């Protein structure tokens, strides 16, 4: 008895097509590198010391030289002696007091300074801090921010927040949109009317105002809050497209065949129809990841984003707008370049995956 060859499944065929697409594989490698960096950063295996002040304020990149940073202050020159005032009626008396006491604890008027010891201690602490400041590096591989944090480490740590916000919020929005669209498109009737009414309420308000409204109601900063804000306001796009696809596919022959063999409604919706419309959800996921990373930048700029002490690409760009006026461009360049690389790679991979999953393509 000969073994019959098994037919490859949907994902096996998709992977076979993806392996033949060089752009898709390079994009997948870039996305995988970002995700691996996310895992390593969140577990503290890398950039755990990103808050250490290793460089001078605004230390420039190595290739820009040390001229871009703030110049170190030269030691203060000794104060010149105050000349005698010939019109001072107490000049002779002050000279006599100085000659008699000769104490270093007297000020210029011959009065004993009660804070002399404390001021000497403060000067010693200040000199120690100045010595630590001079120990910082004047240049870093890609510069430092105003606190002396390494920009490369800060960008990697910021990627952890921005990627989590983009991916998790987009997944939540697509999941809600797919669920609502599947139920609305498959059942129709009163159920469809209810979801259309709910959809119309959300789309009648501009998206940025809806985001700010939800942010003002929650009144709490944090990554989880941003994910909820974006996920609960971004489901309308996937809902509209998934609903149309379910209305089209519920009358197809393969759905009727599944109904004839006694498949349940949920099995027909998510085991038979959804694989044929999954490319729509993937495209929406890619679009929303890009949009939500931008939305995180807007929320952080307006004060509804990440709290103080949490770094993200949005908070870096918020800081960089003031630095750019001073000619310190490296933080803006690092955050924008990292964001552009991830967004481009994710979009290219998602487009290739959509083509590989499309049943109409051979």
Average pLDDT over residues 294-308: 77
21/349 Cα distance (integer angstroms): 10
pLDDT of 183 above 90: yes
pLDDT at 126: 62
pLDDT for residue 75: 43
How confident is the model at residue 169, as a pLDDT? 93
Residue 72's pLDDT is what? Answer: 44
Q: What element of type H or E holds 118?
A: helix 116-135
Q: Which residue has the tokens 């019109």?
A: 87
| Pick from 358, 349, 343: nearest CA to 278 | 358
pLDDT at 359 over 60: no
Tokens of 219: 């009144």
- Is residue 184 scored above 90 in pLDDT? yes
pLDDT at 322: 84
Contact at 8 Å (CB) between 222 and 181? no
pLDDT band at 196 (very low <50, low <70, confident <90, very high): very high
Beta bridge partners of 106: 112
Which of the pair, 41 or 5, is modelled with greater confidence? 41
Please report the DSSP string for 205-267 in residue order: S-HHHHHHHHHHHH---SHHHHHHHHHHHS-HHHHHHHHHHHHHHTTSHHHHHHHHTT--HHH
pLDDT tens per residue across span 159-174: 998 899 999 999 999 9
3-class state of residue 112 by DSSP = strand
Q: Choose among 360, 356, 354, 362: nearest CA to 241.
A: 354
How does pLDDT run across 68-96, given as a tens digit for each residue? Answer: 544 444 444 444 455 666 666 777 777 77
What's the pLDDT score for residue 65?
72
Ranges 36-45, 122-131, 298-307: which has the least confidence: 122-131
The pair of structure tokens assigned to 103 is 């104490």
- pTM (two decimals): 0.73
Q: At residue 182, does pLDDT exceed 80?
A: yes
The per-residue pLDDT for 112 is 56
Q: Do 281 and 353 contact (CB within 8 A), yes or no? A: no
Q: pLDDT grade, residue 104 (50/70/90)?
A: very low
Predicted confidence band at 41 (pLDDT cuts at 50, 70, 90)?
very high
The confidence score (pLDDT) of residue 127 equals 59
Are the C-beta atoms of residues 169 and 230 closer than 8 Å to each other? yes
Q: What are 208-240's pLDDT values in tens digits?
A: 787 777 777 777 778 888 898 889 889 999 999
Instruction: With cut-offs at 50, 70 and 90, classify the pLDDT of residue 36.
Output: very high
- What percentage of the chain reaches a pLDDT higher than 90? 27
Confidence of residue 1 (pLDDT cuts 50, 70, 90): very low
- pLDDT of 329: 92
Token look-up 């008895």 returns 1
Is a pLDDT exceeding 90 seen at residue 156?
yes
Q: Is the pLDDT of residue 101 over 80?
A: no
> What pLDDT, on the 0 to 100 scale, is given for residue 73?
43
Q: Between residues 124 and 202, which one has the greater pLDDT?
A: 202
Instruction: List the domains of the chain with CATH numbers.
Output: 38-59+142-357 (1.10.3720.10)
**Mean pLDDT score of the chain, rounded to an integer?**
81
Question: What pLDDT does 153 receive?
Answer: 93
Please give the pLDDT value at position 120: 72
| pLDDT of the residue at 64 | 78
| pLDDT given at position 245 | 93
322-345 pLDDT tens trace: 888 888 999 999 999 998 899 899
Per-residue pLDDT, averaged over 281-302, amounts to 82
Question: Does the pLDDT of residue 313 top 70, yes or no?
Answer: yes
112: which strand partners? 106
Distance CA 211, CA 131 (A): 48
């Amino acid at each position: 008895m000969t073994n019959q060859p098994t037919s490859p499944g949907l994902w096996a065929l998709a992977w076979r097509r993806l392996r033949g697409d060089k752009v898709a594989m390079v994009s997948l490698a870039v996305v995988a590198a970002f995700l691996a960096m996310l895992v390593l950063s969140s577990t503290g295996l890398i950039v755990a010391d990103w808050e250490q002040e290793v460089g001078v304020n605004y230390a420039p990149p190595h290739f820009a030289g040390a001229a871009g940073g703030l110049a170190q202050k030269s030691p203060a020159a000794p104060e010149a002696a105050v000349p005698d005032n010939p019109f001072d009626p107490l000049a002779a008396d002050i000279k006599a007091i100085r000659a008699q006491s000769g104490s270093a604890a007297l000020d210029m008027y011959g009065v004993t300074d009660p804070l002399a010891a404390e001021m000497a201690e403060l000067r010693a602490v200040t000199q120690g801090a100045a010595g630590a400041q001079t120990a910082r590096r004047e240049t870093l591989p890609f510069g430092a921010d105003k606190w002396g944090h390494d920009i490369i480490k800060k960008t990697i740590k910021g990627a952890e927040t921005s990627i989590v916000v983009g991916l998790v919020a987009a997944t939540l929005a697509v999941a809600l949109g797919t669920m609502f669209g599947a139920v609305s498109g498959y059942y129709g009737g009163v159920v469809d009317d209810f979801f259309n009414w709910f959809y119309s309420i959300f789309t009648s308000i501009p998206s940025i105002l809806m985001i700010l409204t939800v942010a003002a109601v929650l009144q709490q900063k944090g990554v989880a809050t941003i994910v909820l804000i974006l996920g609960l306001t971004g489901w309308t796009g996937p809902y509209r497209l998934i609903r149309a696809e379910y209305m089209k596919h519920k009358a197809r022959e393969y759905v009727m065949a599944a109904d004839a063999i006694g498949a349940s409604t949920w099995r027909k919706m998510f085991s038979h129809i959804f694989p044929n419309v999954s490319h729509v959800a993937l495209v929406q996921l890619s679009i929303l990841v890009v949009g939500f990373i931008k939305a995180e930048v807007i929320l952080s700029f307006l004060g509804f984003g990440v709290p103080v002490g949490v770094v993200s690409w949005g908070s870096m760009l918020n800081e960089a707008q003031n630095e750019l006026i001073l000619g310190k461009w490296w933080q803006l360049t690092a955050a924008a370049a990292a964001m552009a690389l991830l967004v481009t790679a994710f979009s290219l991979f998602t487009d290739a995956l959509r083509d590989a999953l499309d049943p109409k393509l051979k």
